[in-house]
Amino acid sequence: MSMGLEGSSVVRTCRICGTDRFEGVVSLGLMPLANRFIRPEQAAEAEPRYPLEVIRCQECELVQLSVVVDPEILFRDYAYASSASAPVIEHFAALATDLAARFKLRDRLVVEIGSNDGVLLDPLARRGARVLGIEPARGQSTAANARGLETWNEFFDEGVARRVRAERGRAALVIGNNVLAHMSDLSGVARAVGSLLDDDGVFVFEVPYLLDLLDRVEYDTIYHEHLSYFHLAPLKRLFSDAGMAVFHVERLSVHGGSIRVYVGHAGRRSASPQLAAMSATEGHRLLADQRIYRSFAESVVASRVALNDLLADRIAAGWRIAGYGASAKGNTLLNYCAIGPDVLEYVADTTPYKQGLLTPGTRIPVVPERRSVEDPPDALLLLAWNYADSIVERKRDYIARGGRFIHPIPLARLIP
């Protein structure tokens, strides 16, 4: 795919089935990159903006972005660190336990695509697996290697798969959490995984689930890193075309609602009842019916109006408001709703890399999380609402002193 001006290109054919017949889903306008936080000395400089528009393939039903931004721009110098969020550490510790119980991993090769700072490689290695991370972000790859978790600073593709197989052999397990949605050449990735897995090998991956996005109006999870918004039907097509088969799926609450999908070589494992049940549910939801997507687009506009009304009302009442969690989704929400430093005094965040920088497009200062304790506002806008339970629980003292949270979607509401 040849990249156009500023490292982006328009999608002409579906990234799974290759057809060129699309329906529009929603357009959020021209948006800056959600994880490109701005240094204060660059605050006055213009930053690249790209169309953020979602389309749906009329053949295989894959919901996807209409514009692809060069992954070198998106991921080489990358702000997101998995280990900055305690709930993510807990989530992947539990996954390691689950995988070790489900598969024989001791002394077996486990390759993780998009392994970030090694948050999952670590517990897997502690269970005796021979782990290898494949991570394109320089900072995260360096951090993982510094922890003794071998990580190649690469984008995963068929060439890297061949090199792993030549140098490490075939894998019992390939894992890819919150990475498949970020990859443009899905067919090439599916073939690469298939070539790397041993005969009984399994590819296990987590992706945000389209049904949760639609039902909870999670429009802020739409940003340029997320090229695809998956449900089972197109995923089954993708892996079937690569000589593999989805055989199991689990529904997860993480990241606003995700699915964990298990794939093996075709014919090696029988489909689980859970897979049949979820496939049937998708059939009943008529996800090929354009009316679902029109309704979602209308709900997105209603969500923006409700949030801006609540914020205006509270500011008119004299409240000081700040953001909590400088998340990528938060930057979609702030830019789409035009929420700037006149509304939020700061955004508190636990990620050292982000602190001292400004939010992309809206230029709100990101500060250490302790600022929300030392200089508590009247309300904190939950830009990391996917951890709302954990955050509200941990900030009981803030609430006890009269502090409130604003949960922005689907319709803005105060907690408590």
**Shortest Å distance, C-beta 372 to ligand DWN:** 9
Q: Which single residue is written with the structure tokens 């049949």?
A: 276
CB of 64 to ligand DWN, least distance (A): 15
Considering beta carbons, is residue 86 or 280 the nearer one to ligand DWN? 86
Q: How far apart are CA 91 and CA 95, in angstroms?
A: 6
Q: What is the SS3 string spanning 280-309?
A: HHHHHCCCCCHHHHHHHHHHHHHHHHHHHH
Q: Choose between 303 and 327: whose C-beta lies nearer to ligand DWN.
A: 327
Q: How far is the CB of 240 from ligand DWN (least distance, A)?
A: 25
CB of 178 to ligand DWN, least distance (A): 4
Considering beta carbons, is residue 53 or 349 the nearer one to ligand DWN? 349
- How many other β-carbons are positioned within 10 Å of the β-carbon of residue 342? 10
What φ, ψ does residue 7 adopt, rounded to 5°?
Answer: 75, 30
For the bound state, the minimum distance from the C-beta of residue 348 to ligand DWN, rounded and expressed in Å, comes to 6
Alpha helix locations (H) across 147-289? 158-168, 186-196, 210-215, 232-241, 273-284
Applying CB under 6 A, which residues contact ligand DWN? 80, 84-87, 178, 225, 255, 325-329, 349-351, 354, 369, 384, 386-387, 390-391
For residue 399 the two structure tokens come to 């609430």
| Comparison of 56 and 329: residue with beta carbon closer to ligand DWN | 329
For residue 145, count CB atoms less than 10 angstroms from its CB and return exposed for 0-12, middle for 13-18, buried for 19 or more: middle
Q: Quick one: how far is CA 153 from the chain centroid?
A: 20
Cβ closest to ligand DWN, residue 140 vs residue 172: 140
The distance of closest approach from Cβ of residue 415 to ligand DWN in the complex, given in angstroms and rounded to an integer, is: 15
Own/partner pairs, 388-393, CB within 8 angstroms, 24+ separation: 388/415, 390/86, 390/87, 391/324, 391/325
Nearest approach, Cβ of 400 to ligand DWN (angstroms)? 18
Residue 212 vs 225, nearer CB to ligand DWN: 225
Nearer to ligand DWN, 264 or 325 (CB): 325
Q: How far is the CB of 246 from ligand DWN (least distance, A)?
A: 21
Residues 413, 385: Cα–Cα separation, whole Å? 12
Handedness of CA 241, 244, 248, 251 (dihedral sign): negative
Q: How far is the CB of 225 from ligand DWN (least distance, A)?
A: 4
* C-alpha dist (Å) from residue 213 to 24, 34, 228, 382, 389: 16, 18, 12, 17, 19
The label of the residue with tokens 């702000």 reads: 79
- Decide whether 84 or 202 has the Cβ nearer to ligand DWN: 84
Give whichever of 358 and 391 is closer to ligand DWN, judged by the CB atom: 391
- Least distance from C-beta 258 to ligand DWN, angstroms? 9
Nearer to ligand DWN, 248 or 255 (CB): 255
Phi, psi at 303, each rounded to 5°:
-65, -40
Closest CA to 371 of 353, 387, 355: 355
| Residue showing tokens 């907690």 | 415
- Quick check: 411 and 303 in contact, CB under 8 A? yes
Answer yes or no: are the C-beta atoms of 26 and 293 closer than 8 Å. yes
